[in-house]
Amino acid sequence: MTKHISVPPKPQPANPPATAAEWIGRQEISSATDEEAAEQSVRLTFDIPESLHRRIKITCAEKGIKRMATELRRILEQHFPA
């Protein structure tokens, strides 16, 4: 005797995004500050050496900064003023 189990198909979004950029635009950033929320964000990804990552993380912890991204945004804003 063999037991058969039917698996329903994977649910699809009602309005699937046409492009990757549109998909990224749909994501909401729940931890954004009011200033960050005023302008739409885009994701920037790059690789850094593990030793640099560790130094950034340690420095942020010493300053009481919970998110490294917050400190990196501040540094980038200083280096690339509007």
- How many angstroms separate the CA atoms of 22 and 19, rounded? 5
State how many domains the chain has: 1
- Token pair 């420095």 is found at 59
Residue 6 belongs to a domain: no
Domain range holding 68?
A: 49-82
**Residue 24 domain-assigned (yes or no):** no
Place of tokens 């942020």: 60
Asked whether residue 70 is domain-assigned, the answer is yes
Banded model confidence at residue 29, pLDDT cuts 50, 70, 90: very low
In a domain, 65, yes or no: yes
Residue 34, pLDDT above cutoff 50 = yes
Is the per-residue pLDDT at 77 higher than 90? yes
Looking at the domain assignment, is residue 12 inside a domain? Answer: no
* pLDDT of res. 40: 87
